Structure 1
């Protein structure tokens, strides 16, 4: 029997709301993508570290650049 591994859960980008709340868009694999608080992200030990995540704008630019290379 093959060993089942949990899906790789990763932060995609960080964002800060007008009220100062910090959030992370997290990719849970087939379960989907959801925003969670920075505090929860750090409690769960997800990677990469919050401070090394791109901002939402930086992430969007990277997505556009990747699509233009296809």
Structure 2
């Protein structure tokens, strides 16, 4: 999961076309959803990790909402 967050940070500084950025955010959102499901299925889920994943997922969802037409 740590490598995923590094990739997220690397892409934030790069300029990309609107649609490409939106698609990238969708993939990241889905990846975070999978990570949340995986963490939740562990015998002893890490509440701090879950909180971090949820916060990042919400940040991405908010950015996608701002990019949507009419936003």
Q: Where on the TM-score scale, by shorter chain, does this alignment land: which range?
A: under 0.3
Q: Which structure's residues are more often strand, by fraction?
A: 1
**TM-score normalized with structure 1 length:** 0.27
Higher relative contact order (CA 8 A, sep 6+): 2
**TM-score normalized with structure 2 length:** 0.27
